[in-house]
A and B are shown apart, each in its own frame.
Chain A
């Protein structure tokens, strides 16, 4: 009888705990859904900003700490236009945005904060005992948050928009385009002058390698006329000297950024050796 009473008593206690657990609000926390690939078509700046806002309170889990509870600066309540200026003016700030201004400064500051949160810690928000040298914030491109580069761009766009500056992050590109760009980037440097001319499509405008194109001036004897430095300048800064009878801005101005040094020198060598018209035959 004693055993029965003791067991019944214990059972009542157990059931009361169980009942209490069942009358509380029931919330099941599911793992994050498999990521849907972002369709870049049609995503303009406004779309990117809106996506960034979603990430801010969603996958980025920023609002876990950046809220009004004092764990981290309440980004949504702050006047970011003013705050960014104050942060960059702080003598303790020596990060990547130092010396930049406007939208680019905000972009550099935000990007740095996301991947290197301890690069600069706002006073009072560092890990206890570190003198605001170490941030409690995790890098958002690492687990468990694991934002992609595009998602970080979207967050940066959202914060640039909140700060009232232009959105300067690149818009997401279509997957095929991105792959093509990546493949191009992976392509090795041209190893012959002909390959370099083909890679940068020189003969599409100039009469080279028998193309007979007339969009740009004929280049035969160019080296003898303007010398090696002149040839180099004509490629890197085509508007510096424009040949008579041709308009400026016809030739791409960013070839210097696209070319390897070795490719530039191959083309310069080729043009220096190119005989004047008539002699080429």
Chain B
């Protein structure tokens, strides 16, 4: 009976998808787009249309990033539990899912609110988007339904499908869940990327291509990769905050140990998602330049240039917090003291890199200031403001963040292989040669035209990734059969946990900031070069105005997350049965 029901369901999904195939294959009738005028934007009770849509879109994005990312690393942790046969992995994965469950319905609510707001405030834009993407919107809706089903089945069948072959079946559900989740992410990204780099339409706005052509527009894949990695980092940071809060709240040593380990794992997930993120960012920016040099310059050298200084502050904060947490973690192991003296050098590199990154190139100056500086840029600090210097800084910061992680990993393991000394020497040489190469490639960047500067960062990125991959691989072989010492989970200061709160706050603000930048790149176009934004709010707001809005949205999201955490705890709370003679419902001591 159950099998038959499944068959009916899958037949329905297949019918929907097959029915929509012609929508992908055929182009619509070419018809020039009628550009909207000011009168086409309804003014409703003095409400700022853009702020409403901005808030709802950002809230939907925060929640969606969280609920799409958690099942991704939960599945990996679940697999780790199966491979190591340690129940704690499975318990932690289950707990991560529990946290994200309550967020799911809020994601749908924010998405529904966003859709209504868009149709209400921007009817012409939505009409055009619907004509471009046609049946794909129905596929999106169908996938959303499928995602709900998979998510609930995956979560609620956790204990029922926990051991043996059933576990593999459970993980298969997790795979389907993640595939569907990625499908949703990629479709939504196609719409966003289309608005920046439209394809399948001619300059008059006439639809000349298929839905697939509009989908695989020039910025689609760079955006897919960037958001995929960012979601993982973000999801890790959010559950890390949950673990830190629980660590600070619980009373017993066993609970503290559990939540300390959970926080450490979350931090690793966040850092693992974060380390390749700047490279995905480079790719996205290189593709933006390639698609439209004007758009690239608007971002990096125009009105939005200052925002990248704020971005540097945020990323600097994230890296410093993540590293601080890792350094504190050295106290959990006996050999941690052996590595502690190196922390100050890593700190110098991180702070130095951070300062270089926040150094602006050209700033708005008064005539007196220009006179005092002797030009529009500072004589010595000016060169630190351009991309080559920043590329050196960010790559070194990433390399040394990995070093912090590697030190903690090694602090509970003593290699026993005969070639340990040579292996260590190779790792040290790898770091030194890699860092020199990063600096040399950066200096080369000064000597090449601007158009090649972004490309000049490729060898730096390759070097950073090589250091990480090779150092991890050598460690992997060298520490095989290593003598392990205990990791005292729970032996962490309360202060260290606050680093885990910095991550989600900075990440949330950073994501909203990057969303604002990405959206502003379209300047006064709804769909760049095709459909103009004729609304009264077609301007790019000042950094201050944007910052205030971003803070407001972040506060609302934080309030929601606190509520979600509270809900997940409420679900685990059981009222004790009333003792005979006491008032009904009153908890026994």
Q: Which residues of A contact B455 (CB under 8 A)?
A: 128
Task: Evaluate whether A13 and B506 lie within 8 angstroms (CB atoms) in the complex, with A22-B548, A71-B451 already known.
Answer: yes
With A13-B506, A65-B293 known as contacts, the answer to whether A24 contacts B523 (CB < 8 A) is no
Q: Which of B273-297 contact A (CB under 8 A)?
A: 289-290, 292-294, 297
Q: Which among A25-33, A192-200, A208-216, A217-225 touches the partner chain?
A: A25-33
Find out whether the CB atom of B293 lies under 8 angstroms from the CB atom of A29.
no
The answer to whether residues A71 and B529 also contact, given A2-B248, A30-B539 and a CB cut-off of 8 A, is: no
B530 sits at the interface (CB 8 A) = yes
Counting from the closest, the 8 A-B pairs by CB-CB distance are: A21-B547, A31-B524, A143-B529, A70-B449, A29-B540, A26-B542, A22-B544, A25-B364
Q: Chain A nearest CB: distance from B263 CB in Å? A: 13
Which B residues lie within 8 Å of A11 (CB)?
555
Interface size on A, residues (CB 8 A): 41
Taken together as a complex, chains A and B put the C-alpha atoms of A137 and B289 apart, in Å, by 11
Q: Is residue B432 within 8 Å, beta carbon to beta carbon, of the partner chain?
A: no
A6 at the interface (CB under 8 A from B): yes
Name A27's contact: one of B303, B310, B523, B524 (CB within 8 Å): B303
A70: chain B residues at CB < 8 Å are 449-451
> Looking at chain B's contact residues, is the secondary structure mostly helix, strand, loop, or mixed?
helix
Residue A3 lies at the interface, judged by CB distance under 8 Å to chain B = yes
Contacts of A65 in B (CB 8 A): 293-294, 297
Contact bitstring A115-151, B, C-beta under 8 A = 1, else 0:
0000000001101100000001110001111000000
| Least CB separation from B555: chain A residue | A14
Chain A residues, Cβ within 8 Å of B538: 31
Is A18 in the interface zone, CB < 8 Å from B?
Answer: yes
- Bound together, the chains give a CA A9 to CA B541 distance in angstroms of 28
Q: Is B297 in contact with A71, judged by CB distance below 8 angstroms?
A: yes
Q: Report whether A26 and B294 are in contact in the complex, using a CB–CB cutoff of 8 Å.
A: no
Q: Does A64 make an interface contact (CB < 8 A)?
A: yes
A14, A22, A32: residue with the most chain B Cβ atoms closer than 10 Å: A14
Question: Cβ of B525 < 8 Å from any Cβ of A?
Answer: yes
Is A17 located at the chain interface by the 8 A CB criterion?
yes
B498→A26 contact, CB < 8 A: no
**8 Å CB interface, A75-122 against B:** none
Q: A17-B313, A21-B543, A64-B294 are in contact. Are A136 and B451 (CB under 8 A)?
A: yes
B533 contacts partner chain A, Cβ-Cβ < 8 Å: yes
A interface footprint on B66-100 (CB within 8 Å = 1, 0 otherwise): 00000000000000000000000000000000000
B547 & A18 in contact (Cβ 8 Å cutoff): yes
State the CA gap A6–B289 with chains docked (Å). Answer: 41
CB <8 Å contact, A24 and B306: yes
* 5 residue pairs bridging A and B, Cβ less than 8 Å apart: A18-B550, A30-B539, A65-B297, A128-B290, A138-B293
Among candidates A13, A18, A138, residue contacting B294 with C-beta atoms closer than 8 Å: A138
Q: Which residues of B contact A26 (CB under 8 A)?
A: 542-545
Question: What 1/0 mask marks residues of chain B from 517 to 556 whose CB sits below 8 Å from any chain A CB?
Answer: 0001001110011100100001111111111101100110
**Closest Cβ–Cβ distance, residue B409 to chain A (whole Å):** 28
Pair A17/B547 contact, Cβ less than 8 Å: yes
Q: Is A39 an interface residue (CB 8 A)?
A: no
Q: Is the CB of B551 within 8 A of A18?
A: yes
Tell me if A15 and B449 are in contact (CB < 8 A).
Answer: no
**How far is it, in angstroms, between the C-alpha of A10 and the C-alpha of B294 when the chains are bound?**
37
The answer to the question of B582 belonging to the interface, with a C-beta cut-off of 8 Å to chain A, is no
* Chain B, Cβ-Cβ closest to A135: B293
Q: How far is the CB of B14 from chain A (nearest CB, A)?
A: 41
Closest residue of chain A to B449 (Cβ to Cβ) is: A70
Check B451–A125 contact: CB distance below 8 A. Answer: yes
Complex Cα distance, B503 from A10, in Å, reads 10
A residues with a Cβ closer than 8 A to B are 2-3, 6-7, 9-11, 13-15, 17-18, 20-22, 24-32, 61, 64-65, 69-71, 124-125, 127-128, 136-138, 142-145
| Chain B residues positioned under 8 Å from A13 (CB to CB) | 317, 501-502, 505-506
CB pair A24–B309 under 8 Å, yes or no, is yes
* Residue contact B505 to A14, C-beta cutoff 8 Å: yes
Taken together as a complex, chains A and B put the C-alpha atoms of A137 and B524 apart, in Å, by 20
Count B-side interface residues using an 8 Å CB cutoff: 57
Please name all residues of chain B whose beta carbon is closer than 8 Å to the beta carbon of A9 when the two chains form the complex: 498, 501
A127's closest neighbor in chain B, by CB? B290
Given contacts A6-B501, A31-B538, contact A20 B297 (CB under 8 A): no
What's the minimum C-beta distance from A115 to chain B, rounded to whole angstroms?
Answer: 13
Residues of A within 8 Å of B520, CB to CB, are 29
Cα A30 to Cα B520 in complex, Å, equals 11
Contacts of A2 in B (CB 8 A): 245, 248-249
Q: Are B543 and A144 in contact (CB under 8 A)?
A: no
* Bound complex: CA A136 to CA B288 (Å): 11
Alpha-carbon separation in the docked complex, A138 to B303 (Å): 20
Q: Which of B290, B506, B542 contacts A28 (CB 8 A)?
A: B542
Is A64 in contact with B302, judged by CB distance below 8 angstroms?
yes
Say if the beta carbon of B352 comes within 8 Å of chain A.
no
Contact B543 A24 (CB under 8 A): yes
> Within 8 Å CB of B363, what residues of A?
25
Tell me, yes or no, whether B145 is within 8 Å of chain A by CB: no
In chain A, what residue has the closest Cβ to B293? A136
Docked-complex contact A10 and B542, CB < 8 angstroms: no
- Best-buried of B314, B455, B505 by chain A (most CB within 10 Å): B505
By a CB distance below 8 angstroms, the chain A residues around B108 are none
In contact, A29 and B539 (Cβ under 8 angstroms): yes
**Does B234 have its Cβ within 8 Å of any Cβ on chain A?**
no
B206 sits at the interface (CB 8 A): no
**With a CB–CB cut-off of 8 A, which chain B residues contact A61?**
294
A274 to chain B, nearest CB (A): 52
Complex: A53 Cα to B290 Cα, angstroms: 27
In the complex the two chains form, what is the Cα distance from A20 to B313 in whole Å?
9
- At the interface, yes or no: B492 with Cβ under 8 Å from chain A? no
Shortest Cβ distance from A18 into B: residue: B551
Most buried by B among A20, A30, A32, A124: A20
Within the complex, what minimum Cβ distance (angstroms) separates B62 from chain A?
14
Cα A15 to Cα B543 in complex, Å, equals 14
Q: A6-B245, A28-B540 are known; give 6 further A-B pairs, CB within 8 A.
A: A7-B558, A13-B501, A21-B548, A25-B543, A32-B524, A65-B297
When distances are taken between beta carbons in the complex, the residues of chain B under 8 Å from A69 are 301, 450
Please, which residues of chain B bring their CB within 8 A of the CB of A14?
505, 509, 551, 554-555
A61 to B296, CA, bound (A): 13
